[in-house]
Structure 1
Amino acid sequence: MPLTTPKEMFEKAYMDKYAIGAFNVTNMEIVQGIMEAAEEEKSPVILQISAGARKYAGHNYIIKMVEAAIENSNVPVVLHLDHGVDFNICKEVIDGGFTSVMIDGSHFPFEKNIEVTKSVVEYAHQHGVWVEAELGQLAGIEDDVFAEQNVFTEPDQAVEFVERTGCNSLAVAIGTSHGAYKFKSEPKLDFERLEKITQLLPNYPLVLHGASSVPEEFIKTANNFGGQIAGAKGVPEFMLKKAAQLGVCKINIDTDIRLAITATLRKVLNDFPAEFDPRKFFGPARQAIKDMVQYKMRFVLDSSNKA
């Protein structure tokens, strides 16, 4: 099945109140684990590449891995740029085969964000490519994306932003954050704000960034075998399910993939200290990714059997 855009995915997700998982990828094992999970769950899926991951792996390597992944695929797959920082990188990946891009002008003043986003929308739509934008800011760090504090999305501004830019979906800030340390105290999301945005933008797909749940079993395993990941806390799964009931059609998951790999590698290398065949430790890491993604699709995103 060839790559697609999120359009039909999101229309179905919005109507039936579930979400599509957007999983960040950087190497072969991650792509394989995600795709194996999607095939078995019969779930649509978004493979997303950050600018940092694209630089690390190389554009052509990314494209060839994805081409191999979808060669015999029976589920819809989107190839998405996560956090494109400017027009140039968005243009490069559009020209290079991506079917969806995120232009992140959230660090700019409102008018500048509109200007930058609109320029990407105009080019992308000429090539049949979907555009996600962001209004508001998420605290935390992910690759080259950093903000010290959350700046929540203003509902009225969201309407104006969407109308003036023509972006296809909008990432909103309601209290999630990038990285593994999302909350210092009790987790809380501003669902009242989310509901207001949804009311003002009916039938419009919203996106939740920084939405890893940071499973305790990964943290415990990593720390038991030499890790120092103290105080990590993610978004409770019931909150993610609730967000999907309120217009969120795309939920980004990156940190949980990193933690699945880290926990597995630490355990395997500890249990088998004489092992030096990478297949013997990257194989279990791939399986951990697959298991985690399947769980998310089935029990959190509710996207199983929606392909």
Structure 2
Amino acid sequence: MNYRIILGCILSLLIVSTVIGAFPLQQLEKGDTVSIQEFKGLNKELSNIDKNSETKLLLLWRHDKRTSVDTVKSFVEMCGKRGVPCIAVDLQNGTMEKIKEIVEKTGENVYFAHDKSGVTEDWGIFTLPVTLFLDKDNKVVNAVGYEGQYAVKVGRYVDYLTGKISEEEFKKFENTSDVNDRRSKLPKINFIKRLIEDGQPEDAKERLSKLDKKDLSMEEKLNLAEVYLKLDMPDKVEKVLEGISEYNVGAKFYRAYAVYLNGDLDKALDMLHSIEKIYPQKKKLFYLLGEIYKQKGDYKNAAEYFEKSCSNSAI
């Protein structure tokens, strides 16, 4: 099969999965109930959390990633100031001694934990760190993935949920934040994608050359990376995803695909296997793994991954 056909197939399936919208989880939705007891408390028993609290926060992070470490420090400080129960789940299962070394101050109302049963693997996490807001019944109210003004946005949303600021005040903050005070470049990027899909790659390249690529948001970077892959320009992908690929699983998939198109099959395999358990759209990942193994002549593994891909309704 021609790799350009494979590229078109996978990218067409991938459009929805990699765009980070307001809700950064693919398989967990607002209104779903989170079983806190699925997590293992490290510094305190999770059963001691105030069950009458109207708001709880659940942070998913990794102790081996700088962005996550910076976020968990802000998280602990913010939870202390707001006085709400907070759970910080280290998905890399660091020891409490390691976490104390990183965070220094753990806070009275912050519970550090591990995902002892792997429940988060089925949530379809797009990006880390990510904070979930839970009500008193542990139902998901909302979630915020890592992006501009992350710590400020989480804090202001807690203020809104706990009644410290009104809905009007919160919306005013949303409308005047640095995240939203410039014109989005997504419409132009999406128009370029439509030109490619309509069989007008030269027109797409011309418009792409005129696009201002400075100060892109995460969502814009992901969409632009997709454009480069559709235009068979994998060398551009690494540059546009610089700075977000260490914590964004969609960006990691795009980088792995670019590496594959550049012919480094072994490196692409390593990159894909590193996100195999956490990438939400596994059918696409399995399909690409099958294609790479086929090109390497490893037909046993290729068949296994193609079978997994088919069982996930990818074809």
Q: TM-score range by the shorter chain?
A: under 0.3
Higher Cα Rg, which structure = 2
More RCO (CA 8 Å, sep 6+): 1
Larger helix proportion of the pair: 2
Larger strand proportion of the pair: 1
When the two structures are superposed, what TM-score results if normalisation uses the length of structure 1?
Answer: 0.27
